[in-house]
Amino acid sequence: MPELTLREAIRRGLQEALDQDPTVFLMGEDVGAYGGAYAVTKGFLRQYGPERIRDTPISESAIVGAGIGSALGGMRPIVEIMTINFSLLAMDQIVNHAAKLRYMSGGQFAVPFLIRTVTGGGAGLAATHSQSLEGWYASVPGLKVVFPSTPYDALGLLRACLKDNNTIIYCEHALLYGVRGEVPDAYYEVPIGRAEVKRPGRDLTLISYGRGAHLCLQAAGELAKRGVEAEVIDLRTLRPLDLETPLASLRKTHRALIVEEAWPRAGIGPYLAMRLHQDAFDYLDAPIAHLAGADTPAPYARNLERLALPDVPAILRAVADNFGL
């Protein structure tokens, strides 16, 4: 099976959409002549022309507002917000309009609108460019939020998103674009709202998404050297949230650690922990544990930023401290 990077998998999905559906167009800051801030759309302007690949002014509210309007008008826009931090400038458009218009119109209008954005820390970009705000959007009724961690999932989820008639936040971690993985030539999709067991285990469940899923897999490898078999679950979608997959794992392992980069009060982890406690309390041998980013703005200094984000040693410490494993 051929291998692609996560960047290449997203490019492939975008090209498929542009080739197959004339209502699809891309819009955002530097997506055209510059080729995208992370080179995902490099060469697209030359290939598809300025009608399909539209460079925009530096105004996130205008970009998202134009996307909403074109979606209501029968188009299927894909908007790139350079980082999720900048989406704060379009919060009203995303939360009060894109997320609610289908509901407030009684289903008369749909907003088939995909917002691609980069999230997460670790790149040394300081406090206002290194935030993980995907959990905020996952709290909003009317939005869907997906977060692939592998090239396979990136392409499969993108295909599913482009068949969905809702507004979807498609998150891409800044440090995962170069991750390689097998991607079949045959067509496939990854369903929205379905988590995946990335590694089976019997003693402990590690639950994460995005870059955190890779850290959990590395930690599971270290735990295996101690004779501890950790099951790793990649949520893949934060809204709708798959509860059955982690619940089934928890009923088997009786312990769970949720790992995410977001602040401890702002991520999906606290809600997931509450639901697991509520729905699987009788199966627990210990309380659900949660490992998040530090409750502080992201430091600019690389050595301090590393201390503020979960890593493999932090996961191993959390496992030892909470479960004695």
Residue 92: CATH number of its domain: 3.40.50.970
Map residue 103 onto helix, strand or coil.
Answer: helix
Q: Say if residue 28 is in the same domain as residue 110.
A: yes
Question: CB-based contacts of 273: which residues, under 8 Å, 6+ apart?
Answer: 258, 288, 290
Does a structural domain hold residue 191?
Answer: no
Token output for 290: 């949660």
Binned at pLDDT 50, 70 and 90, residue 267 comes out as confident
In this predicted structure, what is the pLDDT of residue 298?
95
Round to whole Å and give the CA distance between 151 and 157.
10
Does a structural domain hold residue 298?
Answer: yes
Token output for 249: 């794992």
Instruction: Name the catalytic one among 129, 173, 214, 290.
Output: 129
Does a structural domain hold residue 189?
Answer: no
Round to whole Å and give the CA distance between 173 and 235.
14
Could you say which DSSP state residue 130 is in? S
- CB-CB contact of 44 with 76 (8 Å): no
Binned at pLDDT 50, 70 and 90, residue 65 comes out as very high
Please count the structural domains in the chain.
2
Q: Say if residue 156 is in the same domain as residue 9.
A: yes
pLDDT at 1 over 90: no
* Mean pLDDT, rounded, for 207-218: 98
CB atoms within 10 A of CB 300: 13
CATH number for the domain including 218? Answer: 3.40.50.920
> Which long-range contacts (C-beta less than 8 Å, at least 24 apart) are formed by 243-247?
243/272, 243/275, 243/276, 243/279, 245/194, 245/195, 245/196, 245/197, 246/195, 246/205, 246/207, 246/272, 246/276, 247/276, 247/279, 247/280
User: Is 173 known to be catalytic?
Assistant: no
The burial of 73, by beta-carbon neighbours within 10 Å (0-12 exposed, 13-18 middle, 19 or more buried), is given as: exposed
Compute the C-alpha angle 42/132/102, nearest 5°.
80
Q: Say if residue 111 is in the same domain as residue 209.
A: no
Report, in this order, helix, strand and coil percent for the chain, each rounded to 5: 40, 20, 40
Name the nearest CA neighbour of 49 among 31, 66, 73.
31
Map residue 155 onto helix, strand or coil.
Answer: helix
Q: Say if residue 157 is in the same domain as residue 264.
A: no
Token output for 251: 């009923």
Q: Say if residue 273 is in the same domain as residue 219.
A: yes
Q: Which of 150, 182, 214 is the last residue of a domain?
A: 182
* Mean pLDDT, rounded, for 152-169: 97
Amino acid letter for position 156: G
Q: Say if residue 171 is in the same domain as residue 206.
A: no
Output the pTM of the full model: 0.96
Compute the C-alpha angle 235/242/155, nearest 5°.
50
Q: Say if residue 156 is in the same domain as residue 75.
A: yes
Does a structural domain hold residue 212?
Answer: yes
Q: Say if residue 129 is in the same domain as residue 172.
A: yes
Q: Which of 147, 182, 217 is the last residue of a domain?
A: 182
Q: Say if residue 164 is in the same domain as residue 23.
A: yes
Question: CB-based contacts of 95: which residues, under 8 Å, 6+ apart?
Answer: 140, 143
* Mean pLDDT, rounded, for 89-101: 97
User: Is 222 known to be catalytic?
Assistant: no
Q: Say if residue 86 is in the same domain as residue 32.
A: yes
In this predicted structure, what is the pLDDT of residue 269?
96
pLDDT at 266 over 90: no
pLDDT tens-place string over residues 269-289 = 999 999 999 999 999 999 999
Compute the C-alpha angle 214/131/208, nearest 5°.
30
Residue 298 phi/psi, 5° resolution? -65, 125
Residue numbers of the domain that contains 307? 196-323
Does a structural domain hold residue 190?
Answer: no
In this predicted structure, what is the pLDDT of residue 271?
96
Cα dist. 182→155, 208, 317 in Å?
A: 11, 21, 32
Q: Which of 128, 158, 182 is the last residue of a domain?
A: 182
Instruction: Name the catalytic one among 60, 134, 260, 261.
Output: 60
